[in-house]
Amino acid sequence: MRTLSTRRWVATVAAAAAATLILAGCAGGADNGGDSGASNKDNVTYALPAGTGPNWLLPMSPPDKMATHNKALKSTMWVPLFEYDGTGGAMDWDKKASAAKSYEFSADGTSVKITLNDLDWSDGKPVTSRDVEFWYNLARYNNTKIGGYSKGNMPDNVTKFEINDDKNFTLTFDKVYNQDFLLANQLTLIYPMPQHVWDKSADGEAVGDLDRDEAGAQKVLDYLFKQAEDMSTYATNPLWKTVSGPYTVAKWTDAGQVELTANEKYTGVDKAKIKNVTFMPFTSADAEMNVVRSGDLDYGYITSAQLSSKAQFENLGYKIDPWKGWSITYMPYNFANPTMGPVYKQLYVRQALQHAIDQKSISDVIWKGAATPGYGPIPQDPATDYLSDEQKNNPYPFDLKASEKLFTDHGWKKNAQGVLTCENAGSGADQCGDGIAAGQAMNIVVTTQNGSQETDNMMAEIKSSLQKVGVNMTIDAIPLDSVLTEAQSCKTGGDCKWELVFFGTAGSWYFSAYPNGERVFAKDTKWNAGQYDNPEAEQLITDLTFSTDKDIAKKYSALLAKDLPVMWMPNPVYQVSVIKKGLDIGGQQDPGASFYPQRWSWK
Amino acid sequence: MSDVTATPAATPAPQPRTAKPGRRALARFTSNRLAVFGLIVLVLFLIFCFLGPLFYQTDQVHTNLSEASLRPGERGHLLGTDDVGYDVLGRLMIAGQTSIIIGLAAGVLATLIGSFWGAIAGYVGGWVDSVMMRIVDAGIAIPATFLLLIISTIARPSVPLMILVIGLVSWLVPARLVRAESISLKSREYVLAIRAMGGTHSRAISRHIIPNSVGTIIVNATFQVADAILLVAYISFLGMGVQKPATDWGAMLTSGISYTYGGAWWLILPAGFCIVLVVVAFNCIGDGLRDYFDVKGRLK
């Protein structure tokens, strides 16, 4: 027994010593410089986000294949009609990456005439209006099978597709729409597809005009979807050899590793500069960072916590480049919560809570600069004309005194434990408000996603600030999937007990180029999780789609920045990129999360 | 005729002075230098964690982002600050409180449950013993860390919950040990006698079986405490421990690990050393106690 016992503590000491040595070894590795990795100028390796693997290449996707990286990859092979991105520093039409050369709206705004670029398919045939019509026909006859379809929107809102000639066509809409909405959120869904190769319903069948009637179009899409389900044939299937973009598939594994090679027949102006691009999947960020540390990735990412070890990656020959997302981050209030709903419905409560969020310090210190403060429903970086002054200037700056005063001015007083309690119930100007009973304490629960040190620290900081005001915040950290399920519980017949939820460690909501909030803040939409209901906001959200008022987005931005449908939070970057110093990515990283590998080059 | 030879009167040998039982026990314990080392380390840690905050006062409730990530010695922070501005030395103290309280309480809870379970199983025997020990076998087959992680995911982690959960997954080993003792003790005369005099089974277990297993129980309890402290560290290291502003040494380690490559040793090494030292201390004490209770050890 003595031997066993002695072994026990000897083993403990040995384990501790081993752990210390490992740590020391790891730390020592920080100084390893060098410039290993791919230096072949015809190749580049890129790390895909952890846990994601590209699994679809056809320009039209079923709903479960709508991942951003799928879209980013297929755009390199089939050029979309309109591409909007932020590579130029602002979210704008990227003409080089688009099949459309120009557009012209009719005087009454109900139709748009589009002219195509001089693009050819890789088999030498030109990209024509018929190829756009092919997409439209497949979409309109198969709308429910297509991911991203929203009833009433594209293609339902197109009443007539008219081919003027090979390079010109006109789309007529069912009503007048906001032109930014049409261009950035609707026409960007369209891809010219090679009708002369794909318009068939079986292998070996002659290509015809099957797409022009409903039954034929359905057969064609079923056939294309079936072919696209087999990832192992992406590099060999003749269907996928006819491309219009700068790249074509060289290899695509079931595990999600994709190798693209330059399309030698590409005739556009966005020609590939590096011949071979490899997209690597990773199961976790840690696994990816290990490969970065080995120098075997040319373009990867690190977690923002690693920004404190920036020098390590710079010594390895990388430059650090945070990739900002076209997104907003927020915590919805549950206005339907049986107990706390009436409290959150009071604007002064939301204002007071917002005053207690020190977004600048959280962004700078906790996210180490890899997040930017956000004060409203429009993404703030890069700045756009949609952004109102009210949102830009932060209507509720960090001010704990102002926060506490809002409570005390409305009948709340700190109890012996320092927690604010409603003492003056009622609906008067100096009272707590409708539905709040005397004795109601400001005990709030935030359900947040776990697994992120930055998020944990951010919640600890918010809890600390709120405690100074007199609000007792409980943090309930659970896995992201559970948070998202919880957030929907009121709408799915669940217990609806959540109060605030946070699912924004990588940004809460990513927008199309035109950032309308119809899917987030409109009354009956799924992701208005907290059931925010403001008729004025509802009208503005509708107007964002239909109004021709150039300032409509600004009005929407101003109202929601002030009305606080959610608690606005710092918006983390899409990822903190590490890029080999010799690799020029040809502009800014796209906030819309597209890659544009054709613009990368080795210096 | 008798040939009697008178034998000289034997000179009485000098009798060893009989020491008091308490002193003898202390002497036996202190003869084990590692045990003394363990005890000293443990006492120092108890003073550091529970009395330290009285002399080195820091705010361990509110974050202070303006003082985040300071190096040791900067702005009066002896061991620097962490990434949200908590003073690391002060945090080691309150983290130690959590680790030691959970460790001690969970260790005691596990020992109590295990002792009663094992004593009953061994004493009653038969199918009751079989069923009870198969439950123990089944429990041992499930990794404790796995169970703890699941429970931490379902319920909001707190100190009482962690004591309960760690206690409930750690009683299996003491149950086995005490059962073995119980089987041996139940056939002793004094146990048989109490049954013959009409004593109840519960009296036999509580007054004779368990008290006579106390050596095994106490020795195992020290190891249980050490294991519980490690379990707390594991769970917290995996991000499932107590929530901020509360913390424990494992949580401090996991917060600091991201800064390994940044050279922020003060976020990792102090918490790591605290865990190692306290666990080693408990193991050393356990080793000393085992020697104390071991009959062979007494004869030395």
The whole-number pLDDT of residue B207 equals 85
Q: Which structure tokens are listed for B254? A: 């996991």
Which 84-123 residues of chain B touch chain A by CB within 8 A? 84
Contact A463 B258 (CB under 8 A): no
Is residue B71 predicted with pLDDT exceeding 50?
A: yes
Contact B65 A2 (CB under 8 A): no
The whole-number pLDDT of residue B17 equals 55
The whole-number pLDDT of residue A291 equals 94
**Rounded Cα–Cα distance for residues B213 and A446 (Å):** 49
Whether residue B53 contacts residue B93, with contact meaning beta carbons closer than 8 Å, is answered with yes
Is residue B300 predicted with pLDDT exceeding 50?
A: no
Least Cα separation, residue B215 to chain A (angstroms) = 13
pLDDT digits (tens, 9 = 90+) for B208-250: 888 888 888 988 899 999 999 998 888 888 777 888 889 999 9
Is residue B91 predicted with pLDDT exceeding 80?
A: yes
Which run of H or of E encompasses A222?
helix A214-228
Interface size between A and B, measured as CB pairs under 8 A: 114
DSSP assignment string, B207-260: IIIHHHTHHHHHHHHHHHHHHHHHHHHHHHHTT-SPPTT---HHHHHHHHHTTG
Contact B283 A468 (CB under 8 A): no
Confidence class for position B3, pLDDT limits 50, 70, 90: very low
Prediction pTM value: 0.82
Select the residue from A3, A464, A481 to test the B interface by mutation, using most B Cβ atoms within 10 A.
Answer: A464
DSSP conformational letter for B51: I
Q: Which structure tokens are listed for A515? A: 């950032």
Q: Which residue has the tokens 């559970």?
A: A482
Whether residue A354 contacts residue A393, with contact meaning beta carbons closer than 8 Å, is answered with no
Closest CA to B61 of A359, A217, A418: A418
**Rounded Cα–Cα distance for residues B85 and B244 (Å):** 13
**Rounded Cα–Cα distance for residues A376 and A517 (Å):** 11
Residue numbers in A near B258 (CB within 8 A)? 303, 305-306, 308, 453
Closest CA to A386 of A164, A556, A520, A204: A556
**Rounded Cα–Cα distance for residues A106 and A113 (Å):** 8
The whole-number pLDDT of residue B298 equals 53
Whether residue A277 contacts residue A48, with contact meaning beta carbons closer than 8 Å, is answered with no
Rounded mean pLDDT, B30-55: 94
ipTM confidence: 0.77
Rounded mean pLDDT, B131-149: 88
Of B68, B153, B262, the CB nearest to A478: B153
Per DSSP, the three-state class of A500 is strand
Residue B116 CB neighbour total at 10 angstroms? 18
Is residue B292 predicted with pLDDT exceeding 50?
A: yes
Contact B272 A361 (CB under 8 A): no
The whole-number pLDDT of residue B73 equals 95
For residue A495, count CB atoms less than 10 angstroms from its CB and return exposed for 0-12, middle for 13-18, buried for 19 or more. Answer: exposed
Q: Which structure tokens are listed for B222? A: 């020290």
Q: Which residue has the tokens 């609000």?
A: A471
Per DSSP, the three-state class of A40 is coil
Contact A305 B153 (CB under 8 A): no
Contact A20 B239 (CB under 8 A): no
Is residue B16 predicted with pLDDT exceeding 80?
A: no
Name the closest residue on chain B to residue A474, using Cα atoms: B243
**Rounded Cα–Cα distance for residues A398 and A466 (Å):** 11
**Rounded Cα–Cα distance for residues A567 and A499 (Å):** 12
The whole-number pLDDT of residue B80 equals 96
Least Cα separation, residue B61 to chain A (angstroms) = 7
Residue B8 CB neighbour total at 10 angstroms? 6
Residue numbers in A near B260 (CB within 8 A)? 23, 26-27, 309
- The residues of A whose Cβ lies within 8 A of any Cβ of B are 1-2, 5-6, 8-9, 12-13, 16, 19-20, 23, 26-27, 29-30, 303, 305-306, 308-309, 312, 358, 361-362, 365-366, 450-451, 453, 456-457, 459-461, 463-464, 467-468, 474-479
Q: Is B32 on the interface with A (CB under 8 A)?
A: no
Q: Can you list the positions of beta strands (E) in A410-548?
A: 412-414, 420-422, 443-449, 472-478, 500-502, 509-510
Is residue B158 predicted with pLDDT exceeding 90?
A: no
Contact B261 A12 (CB under 8 A): no
The whole-number pLDDT of residue B235 equals 84
Least Cα separation, residue A490 to chain B (angstroms) = 20
The whole-number pLDDT of residue B48 equals 97
The whole-number pLDDT of residue A479 equals 80
Average pLDDT over chain B, rounded to whole? 86
**Rounded Cα–Cα distance for residues A99 and A96 (Å):** 8
Contact A306 B261 (CB under 8 A): yes
The whole-number pLDDT of residue B12 equals 53
The pairing of beta strand A168-173 with beta strand A158-165: antiparallel
Contact A475 B261 (CB under 8 A): no
Contact B153 A308 (CB under 8 A): no
Which 150-169 residues of chain B touch chain A by CB within 8 A? 153, 156
The whole-number pLDDT of residue A142 equals 95
Whether residue A223 contacts residue A60, with contact meaning beta carbons closer than 8 Å, is answered with no
The pairing of beta strand A412-414 with beta strand A443-449: unpaired
Q: Can you list the positions of beta strands (E) in A151-257?
A: 158-165, 168-173, 247-252
Per DSSP, the three-state class of B278 is helix
How far is the CA of A391 from the CAs of A388, A395, A564, in angstroms?
5, 7, 11
Output A587 or B66, whichever has higher pLDDT.
B66
Of A5, A23, A361, the CB nearest to B268: A23
Residues pairing with A584 in the sheet:
A601
**Rounded Cα–Cα distance for residues A194 and A191 (Å):** 10
The whole-number pLDDT of residue B147 equals 81
For residue B36, give every residue at least 6 positions away whose Cβ sits within 8 Å of its Cβ, in sequence order, or none: B29, B30, B288
Q: Which structure tokens are listed for B147? A: 């169970």
Query: Which parts of chain A have pLDDT scores under 50?
Result: 1-4, 7, 10-11, 18-38
CA dihedral A471, A448, A486, A50 (to 10 degrees): 170
Output A345 or B289, whichever has higher pLDDT.
A345
Confidence class for position B18, pLDDT limits 50, 70, 90: low
3-class SS string, A177-200: CCHHHHHHHHHHHCCCCCHHHHCC
Percent of chain B with pLDDT over 90: 52
